[in-house]
Amino acid sequence: MVVKKEITKEQKLSSLESKKSFFLRKMEIADLAEVYKLGELCFRADLWPMLYRGWDEYEVTTMFNTDGDYCFVAENDNYKKGITSEDERIVGFVLGTVMSKPGTAWSYGYIVWICAHSAWQRDGVASKLVDKAVEAFVENEGVRIIMADTDPSNEKAVKFFKKKGFGQERQHVFLASNIENNPHYSHLIHKSRAQALEEQYLKKLRMMAVRSSGLASIKNKKQKPVQKKKSKKKKKN
Ligand SMILES: CC(C)(COP(=O)(O)OP(=O)(O)OC[C@H]1O[C@@H](n2cnc3c(N)ncnc32)[C@H](O)[C@@H]1OP(=O)(O)O)[C@@H](O)C(=O)NCCC(=O)NCCS
């Protein structure tokens, strides 16, 4: 007698989990929104405020328009099979650019943004994406130096880049100032506030002048739509 084994939903899911696979391709217009959303989850304000500040819709669209040859996504194979929902279609992306210094023969490949979906980390997604970007840098521009940067506290990314052979680490210091309390620039804030108040005051004065001259009522009268008088129908007796 053949005993049919019932496969539970959890077993199905875990068997899919173990069959995680993806393919790489150039980023397309249809990917922009999803790439932006995935970046919002990756570049978190609470962890890395500088990364988060630089990430917005314009960053994605601008890089796509200017450096499309160096923008790649990793797409989940299960999406095409209809197994995965839309929010796990793109499981990683890399946005790169090439910078050249005028007057020198050198050009630099720059990994500007790299991200792997949280459910797909340590699955080789970012590794393959960086390989793809570097390949494009070399093939298209003969690049010999690749740069990457991140927040020094972003251990995952630092370990990742080191694993990919990046070294010559330099710390870069970012400074910020709230200019309201900065003795060099606070006068600019006071000046713009004073200007705004003056404009408000002048607006009030202009309105009062218009009201007192009676212009406002004339204007209002002119603007009233002319209503046609309804002709009263004579009641038939
Ligand atoms: C950093 C990041 C892109 C790595 O992506 P990933 O797809 O998980 O990386 P990979 O699976 O390709 O890892 C390749 C190797 O990098 C190293 N590595 C990656 N993540 C690591 C981690 N969390 N801890 C230690 N080593 C790590 C490992 O050596 C790994 O190889 P192994 O898994 O065989 O040991 C990913 O963690 C991420 O998206 N972080 C948030 C976004 C971010 O910080 N981007 C960088 C700044 S723009």
**Residue 13 within any structural domain of the chain:** no
Q: Are residues 109 and 194 in the same domain?
A: no
Q: With a 6 A CB cut-off, is 150 part of the ligand 1 pocket? A: yes
Q: Is the CB of 115 under 6 A from ligand 1?
A: yes
Instruction: Kindly state whether residue 3 falls inside one of the protein's structural domains.
Output: no
Is 84 a pocket residue for ligand 1 (Cβ < 6 Å)?
Answer: no
Q: Is the CB of 159 under 6 A from ligand 1?
A: yes
Does 137 sit in the ligand 1 pocket, CB within 6 Å? no
Residue 230 maps to a domain:
no
% of the chain surpassing 70 pLDDT: 82
Could you tell me the distance, in angstroms and rounded to a whole number, from the CA of residue 83 to the centre of ligand 1? Answer: 25
Indicate whether 201 and 139 sit together in one domain. no
* CA atoms within 13 A of residue 121's CA, in its CB half-sphere: 11
Examine residue 236 and state whether it is found in any structural domain, yes or no: no
Closest-lying ligand 1 atom to the alpha carbon of residue 121: 8
Average pLDDT over all residues of the chain: 85
Residue 121: CATH number of its domain: 3.40.630.30
Q: Best substitution site from 156, 166, 172 to test ligand 1's pocket, by max atoms within 8 Å of Cβ?
A: 156
Domain that holds residue 199: 180-221
Residues 193 and 106 in one domain: no
Q: If pLDDT is split at 50, 70 and 90, which confidence band does 5 have?
A: low
Residues 78, 80, 85, CA angle at the centre, nearest 5°?
65
For residues 93 and 206, state if they share a domain.
no
Q: DSSP character for 25?
A: E
Residues 200 and 136 in one domain: no
Report the number of distinct structural domains present in the chain. Answer: 2
127 within ligand 1 shell (Cβ under 6 A): yes
Domain match, 117 and 148 both:
yes
- Do residues 137 and 26 both lie within one domain? yes
Residue 6 in domain: no
Q: Does residue 119 sit within a domain?
A: yes
Bridge partner list, 74: 24, 92
Q: How confident is the model at residue 81 (pLDDT cuts 50, 70, 90)?
A: confident
Q: pLDDT of 32-43, one tens digit each?
A: 999 999 999 998
Whether residue 194 sits in one domain with residue 132 = no
Question: 35 and 58: one domain?
Answer: yes
Query: Which position has the token pair 């990314």?
Result: 157
Question: 121 C-alpha vs ligand 1 centroid, how far in Å?
Answer: 6
The type of residue at 113 is: W
Assess whether pLDDT exceeds 70 at residue 29. yes
Which is the closest atom of ligand 1 to the Cα of 160? 16
Domain boundary among 137, 153, 172: 172
Query: For ligand 1, atom 48, which residue shows the shortest CA distance?
Result: 113
Buried b (16+ CB within 10 A) or exposed e, 171-200: eeeeeeeeeeeeeeeeeeeeeeeeeeeeee
Q: Report the alpha-carbon angle 144-148-153, nearest 5.
A: 155
The answer to whether the CB of 22 is under 6 A from ligand 1 is no
Report DSSP state, residue 84: S
Of all protein residues, whose CA lies closest to atom 34 belonging to ligand 1? 122
83 lies in the same domain as 155: yes
101 vs 85: CA distance, rounded Å: 44
**Closest C-alpha to 68, from 60, 76, 77, 79:** 60
Q: What is the pTM of this model?
A: 0.77
| Residue at 228 is within a domain | no
Residue 83 within any structural domain of the chain: yes
pLDDT, greater one: 56 or 82: 56
Are 99 and 44 found together in one domain? yes
pLDDT digits (tens, 9 = 90+) for 119-156: 999 999 999 999 999 999 999 999 999 999 988 889 99
pLDDT winner (highest mean) among 112-126, 165-179, 204-218:
112-126
Residues 102 and 153 occupy one common structural domain: yes
> Contact, 125 vs 116, CB < 8 A?
yes
- Rounded to whole angstroms, the Cα distance separating 143 from 85 reads 38
150 close to 51: Cβ distance less than 8 angstroms? yes
Does any ligand 1 atom lie closer than 6 A to the CB of residue 143?
no
Segment of 49-53, 56-60, 127-131, 152-156 carrying the highest mean pLDDT: 127-131
